[in-house]
A and B are shown apart, each in its own frame.
Chain A
Amino acid sequence: MEGEVAQLALMGKYIGAGLATIGLGGAGIGVGHIAGNFLAGALRNPSAAPGQMANLFVGIAFAEALGIFSFLIALLLMFAV
C-alpha cells in the first residue's frame, strides 16, 4: 500500500513535469510573433530596422521569461517536490 502511493506520486510528478513543458509552446508562439512582426516592419522600412534591434531582443527576452517559468515548474517537480 505504501509502495503504491509512492509509485502514484512518482507518476504524478513525471506527468506534471511533462505537462509543464507545454508552456514552452506559448513562449515559442510569442517569440515567433515578435520576430515575424519585426521582420515585416523591417522590410517595409529597412532604414529604421537597425535602431530597433535592442527593442527586438528585449521583447524576445520578456516573452521568453514566461516560458522559462514553466521550465522552472518542470524542474521543481522533477527535483524539488
Chain B
Amino acid sequence: MATEEHGSGLAIHPMDQFVVKPLFGDGPIEWYTPTNVTLWMGIAVLAMVALLVLSTRRRAIVPSRGQSVAELFYGFIHKMVEDVAGHEGLKFFPYIMTLFMFVFLSNMLGLIPMSFTTTSHIAVTAVLALLVFLTVTLVGFYRKGIGFLSMFWVSSAPLVLRPILAVIELISYFVRPLSHSIRLGGNLMAGHAVIKVFAGFAGAMGIASVVPIAAIAAIYGLELLVAAVQAYVFTILTCVYLRDAVGDAHH
C-alpha cells in the first residue's frame, strides 16, 4: 500500500498524535507553558470532580444516575483495596481512588477523536508510578522500620538460595516503577498508533477503504476494553505493592 509515499512516510503519520504542542502560539515549551497535555489533564480532573463531587451533592436513598455511577466506582475500588491490600491498606483508599479515577478518565478521554491521550506519555505515567514507589518505600520503612528489608530475605527458601533470591528480589523491587509506568503508557501508545496506521491505510486505498474503516471500529472497541483494564491493572498493582508495606508480618 502507498509505496510511492515511502519517502515521506504515510499520509497520516501514526506518531503525530503524540506531539506535545503549546496551546497558544508555537513558542518553545517551558515547564510553565500550557500545552495540550495540560488541557487534557485539566479536563480529566474536571470530569472526576463532576462525576464524584457534583453528582453526589444531592444524595438520596434512591440514587440519581450520576450518584449510582459514582457509588459503583467507589464500591468497586473500596472492595479491591480491602481484598488486596488488607484492612490496613484502607488508610490509602483516597489516594488509590484518585489514582484510578485519573488514569481511567485520562484513558477514556483520550479515546475521543482529535483529543490527546495524556497517559500515553511515559513521562506522565512515570510520575504516577514513581509516586507509588516512593509512597510504598517510605510507608514500609515508617511502619516496619528496618524490618521492611526482611521482604528481600525469603525465609521460606533454603539458606543456600537466600542470597541469590535476595539479589533477584532487590532487582525486581527496583524495576517496579519502570514496568508499572511502561505497561500503562506502552499499551495506550501502541493501541492509538495502531488506529492511526489503519487510518493511514483508509486514506490510501480508495473504495476499498471500507475494510480498514471497519477494522478501526473493531480496534476502537478493543481500545475501550484496554483503557478500562489498564486502569484496573495499574490500580491493583498499586494495592499489591502497598500490601508489602502495610501488610501483616507473616505475609
Chain A residues with CB under 8 Å of chain B are 54, 57-58, 60-61, 64-65, 68-69, 71-72
Interface size class, chain B: 10 to 19
Q: Is A54 a contact partner of B186 (Cβ separation < 8 A)?
A: no
Q: Is A64 a contact partner of B183 (Cβ separation < 8 A)?
A: yes
With a CB–CB cut-off of 8 A, which chain B residues contact A71?
182, 186
Interface of A is mostly: helix
Q: Known: A54-B80, A54-B83, A54-B84. Contact between A68 and B179, CB under 8 A?
A: yes
**Smallest distance from the beta carbon of B126 to chain A beta carbons, Å?**
12
With a CB–CB cut-off of 8 A, which chain A residues contact B178?
72
With a CB–CB cut-off of 8 A, which chain A residues contact B97?
none
With a CB–CB cut-off of 8 A, which chain A residues contact B186?
68, 71-72
Q: Is B179 a contact partner of A65 (Cβ separation < 8 A)?
A: yes
Q: Is B229 a contact partner of A57 (Cβ separation < 8 A)?
A: yes
Q: Is B182 a contact partner of A58 (Cβ separation < 8 A)?
A: no
Nearest A residue to B179 by beta-carbon distance? A65
**Smallest distance from the beta carbon of B165 to chain A beta carbons, Å?**
17
Nearest B residue to A51 by beta-carbon distance? B83
Asked if B233 is at the interface of the complex by the 8 Å CB criterion, the answer is: yes
- 16 A-B pairs with CB atoms under 8 Å apart are A54-B80, A54-B83, A54-B84, A54-B236, A57-B229, A57-B232, A57-B233, A58-B236, A58-B237, A60-B233, A61-B236, A61-B237, A64-B183, A69-B179, A71-B186, A72-B178
**Smallest distance from the beta carbon of B54 to chain A beta carbons, Å?**
31
**Smallest distance from the beta carbon of A80 to chain B beta carbons, Å?**
12
Q: How far is the CA of A57 from the CA of B232 in the complex (A)?
A: 9
Q: How far is the CA of A60 from the CA of B240 in the complex (A)?
A: 14
**Smallest distance from the beta carbon of A67 to chain B beta carbons, Å?**
9
Given A61-B237, A64-B183, A72-B186, 13 further pairs, Cβ under 8 A? A54-B83, A54-B236, A57-B232, A57-B236, A58-B237, A58-B240, A60-B233, A61-B233, A61-B236, A65-B179, A68-B179, A72-B178, A72-B182
Q: Is B183 a contact partner of A68 (Cβ separation < 8 A)?
A: yes
How does the 8 Å CB contact mask read for B80-95 relative to A, with 1 for contact and 0 for none? 1001100000000000
Q: How far is the CA of A27 from the CA of B163 in the complex (A)?
A: 28
CB interface residues, B 225-242, toward A, < 8 Å: 229, 232-233, 236-237, 240
Q: How far is the CA of A57 from the CA of B234 in the complex (A)?
A: 10
